Structure 1
Amino acid sequence: MDAEAFLRTVDVDGTTGPDGPRLAADEPHPDVQSVLRTRRRFQPVALSTLGARGARLLERLGLWLQDADPPAVGSAVDLTAPGPDGGVPIRRYRPTNTGPYPTVVFYHGGGFVLGSLDSHDLLCRHLTAESGCEVVSVDYRLAPEHPFPAAVEDAYAAVEWAATGPDALDSDGRLAVAGDSAGGALAAVVSLMAAERDGPEIDYQSLIYPAVGIRDDHRSMREHAGYVISEDDIRWFDRCYYGSEIHRRNPYADPSRADDRSGVPPATVVTAGFDPLRDGGIAYARQLVGDGVSVRFRNYPDMVHGFVGMLSESEGVERAHEAVDDIATDLRRAFGVDD
């Protein structure tokens, strides 16, 4: 079933019609259950209890304990792009073959509070190796120290910088944005801003379980909050990021609130069956289709939020590798690059 046909079978609460495929399996995949058991031992209390500093320390500890086995890339170099409040740190990954290459600007997840160049280094290396694209990972400013719109400003500045083709990049002029969770929201927002502002020409957007259109009454929220992220976690992230209630209706904070998305580039939208953000991602995919945007929708029924990053040998989630390959395949198709 193609994306448009599938999305027509899905109701706003995430249920499907009698002929629609199941959004969630009976239970998460055993590989994911093993990862979640291990992670629960390292996080005994809620993120809101730890606070931003404590949660970031815990994140760094998890990275230190991870036995990553990264695929080969041509190079990985830390650079700085000009931003609205000083330089924006980035990490640029080149494939092993000779350029120039299409460029993918990547935004990490973490609820706009967590995440870094290091937290998504393994994912970016896999994406570079599988797609054959140059990947530019962006270390945007984090809340609560820098609430909305700081992350959006940095994200847009980074894609403007990448589009200018500076000497540090080996770009062939083709450009995509990608991100997971909060980073998926930023990729969608940057695509919307570029369309509305006559900004950089973005050829494709890859939105991996994007944090958009989140509603308490979504079925996925009611049934799957607690797998990886809880309702309390989501509310805490929101309080940190928005800073003020007045920003919640801003389409540059949540592009599902935009009146028109018809000018944005084609998209891949990835969701996971046991993700509380699943139905928000599906609703956004439906909005894109409704506005005439071509969408490739990929749902992984036995996966959880954050699964695409479960790429280390110790976690051993094979579906994560399959998803990265799927995302990379969509990018290659969008750029007309042979497999």
Structure 2
Amino acid sequence: MNYERLIDEETWAFIRKTGECYPDDAVDLSIEEQRKVYDAMAAEFRAARPDAVTCEDRTAEGVPIRIYTAGEPGYTVMFCHGGGFVVGGLESHDDVCAEICAQTGYRVVAVDYRLAPEHKHPAAFEDAWTVCEWLQHSYEGDIVLVGDSAGANLCAAVAHYARGRTSRIVGQVLIYGAFGGDINAGSYLEHAHAPMLTRDDILFYGDIRRPEGQGTDPDPTMAPLSDTDFSGLPATVLVSADCDPVRDDSRDYRDKILEAGGKAHWINEPGLVHGYLRARHSVGRARDSFERISVAVEALGQGVWPYD
């Protein structure tokens, strides 16, 4: 794969800066050390919160959350962060949440779900669902699910599980999510050695999250693409990076929803790589994509579908 041709210089600068945040022996670090390095890397890219945004740390039935507000919001975003279910937290995506809040005017509630390997599946899903239920009891108005990478997986899992349990989830915006697609086909092979995320990384994170002795039965709370029923899901916008092994999961998830008669739209961003949300202030393509993401969040909250 000719990434020198596909990826522009701005994005390469972002890739290099990310790489410089990791020590040469990063692969040998303990999980706790990996988390510290990841958090330090996220801090290197963190932007200041917009002045209009205020935030408050709380717990939702024992799950730590951070609530962002700007004015008097009528809708709520539940945000689940990426990090392979192993790293990340309230700080790693703080500025992303604050900017979504500022750009949409919606309340954003970030979920600090439990991480693997200390807490294997379904711990992260259970925390996300707990917060989703808490939101319904705590606030009026509809809910939009938003997440990147592992967080996109969690949001989709919540959307599947929520059917028949609530009608308050009106949309989901899923950013470069891994939904349990075929790791031996398509983009998983085409971009097996992509910058920022490789196929081997995906296998590692999948193994570390999976409980010992787990069978092969489909589990949509872990791999939403393994579900047999894609009807009744909220309006869904999927955003992927073209140079990313998990790219095709977004396409396939869209197709499943459309086949079931639902609303789904896939935006594949040329020349971008996994994790590009952190590049939104330095890379033109990432900045434009983040604008599309914010527009999607705002539209879905208001019941608008601008993709026909």
The TM-score with structure 2 as length reference comes to 0.90
What do the CA deviations read for 1:139-165 (whole angstroms, capped 9, x no partner)?
A: 00000000000000000000100111x
What residue is the counterpart of 1:289 in the other structure? 258
Query: CA–CA distance in 2 between the matches of 1:118 and 1:282?
Result: 30
User: Alpha carbon RMSD of aligned pairs, Å?
Assistant: 2.1
What do the CA deviations read for 1:120-140 (whole angstroms, capped 9, x no partner)?
A: 001111111111111000000
Query: CA–CA distance in 2 between the matches of 1:50 and 1:189?
Result: 30
What residue is the counterpart of 1:298 in the other structure? 267
Query: CA–CA distance in 2 between the matches of 1:106 and 1:311?
Result: 18
Cα distance change of structure 1 residues 48 and 258 upon mapping to structure 2, 3 Å threshold? farther
What residue is the counterpart of 1:324 in the other structure? 290
What do the CA deviations read for 1:88-119 (whole angstroms, capped 9, x no partner)?
A: 00000002x3x142000000000000110000
What residue is the counterpart of 2:17 in the other structure? 38
Query: CA–CA distance in 2 between the matches of 1:270 and 1:135?
Result: 19
The residue identity in structure 1 corresponding to 2:159 is: S
Cα distance change of structure 1 residues 130 and 337 upon mapping to structure 2, 3 Å threshold? farther
Instruction: Return the offset for 1:45.
Output: 4.9
Instruction: Say if 2:187 is the partner of 1:220.
Output: yes
The TM-score with structure 1 as length reference comes to 0.83
Q: Would you say the 8 A contact 1:77–1:93 is kept in 2? A: yes
SS at match of 1:203: strand
Instruction: Return the offset for 1:267.
Output: 0.4
Give ranges in structure 2 of 5+ residues lacking alignment. Answer: none
SS at match of 2:120: coil
Query: CA–CA distance in 2 between the matches of 1:191 and 1:67?
Result: 29
What do the CA deviations read for 1:279-337 (whole angstroms, capped 9, x no partner)?
A: 1221111111111110122110110011123235xxx1232232222122122222338
Query: CA–CA distance in 2 between the matches of 1:136 and 1:70?
Result: 15
SS at match of 1:238: helix
Query: CA–CA distance in 2 between the matches of 1:251 and 1:260?
Result: 10
What residue is the counterpart of 2:76 in the other structure? 103
Q: Would you say the 8 A contact 1:205–1:266 is kept in 2? A: yes
Tell me which of the two structures has the higher relative contact order, counting C-alpha pairs closer than 8 angstroms and 6 or more residues apart. 1
The residue identity in structure 1 corresponding to 2:85 is: F
Query: CA–CA distance in 1 between the matches of 2:162 and 2:4?
Result: 37
Cα distance change of structure 1 residues 42 and 74 upon mapping to structure 2, 3 Å threshold? closer
Runs of 4+ that moved beyond 6 A: none
Picking from 161, 164, 174, the partner of 1:193 is 161
Query: CA–CA distance in 2 between the matches of 1:57 and 1:291?
Result: 42
What do the CA deviations read for 1:207-233 (whole angstroms, capped 9, x no partner)?
A: 111111332223322232331012222
The residue identity in structure 1 corresponding to 2:34 is: A
Instruction: Return the offset for 1:183.
Output: 0.3
Cα distance change of structure 1 residues 46 and 214 upon mapping to structure 2, 3 Å threshold? farther
What residue is the counterpart of 1:268 in the other structure? 237
Query: CA–CA distance in 2 between the matches of 1:182 and 1:25?
Result: 27
Query: Residues 144-223 of structure 1: matches in 2 within 5 Å?
Result: 144-164=117-137, 166=138, 171-195=139-163, 197-199=164-166, 201-223=168-190
Query: CA–CA distance in 2 between the matches of 1:199 and 1:45?
Result: 47
SS at match of 1:324: helix
The residue identity in structure 1 corresponding to 2:109 is: V
Instruction: Return the offset for 1:44.
Output: 4.5
Query: CA–CA distance in 2 between the matches of 1:250 and 1:130?
Result: 35
Instruction: Say if 2:306 is the partner of 1:333.
Output: no
The residue identity in structure 1 corresponding to 2:124 is: A
Give ranges in structure 1 of 5+ residues lacking alignment. Answer: 1-23
Query: Residues 232-271 of structure 1: matches in 2 within 5 Å?
Result: 232-244=200-212, 246=214, 249-271=218-240
Cα distance change of structure 1 residues 279 and 100 upon mapping to structure 2, 3 Å threshold? closer
Paired residue total: 300
Instruction: Say if 2:85 is the partner of 1:118.
Output: no
* Identical residues among aligned pairs (%): 33
Cα distance change of structure 1 residues 48 and 177 upon mapping to structure 2, 3 Å threshold? same
Instruction: Return the offset for 1:68.
Output: 2.2
What do the CA deviations read for 1:58-80 (whole angstroms, capped 9, x no partner)?
A: 11222343462332333111110
Query: CA–CA distance in 2 between the matches of 1:246 and 1:336?
Result: 40
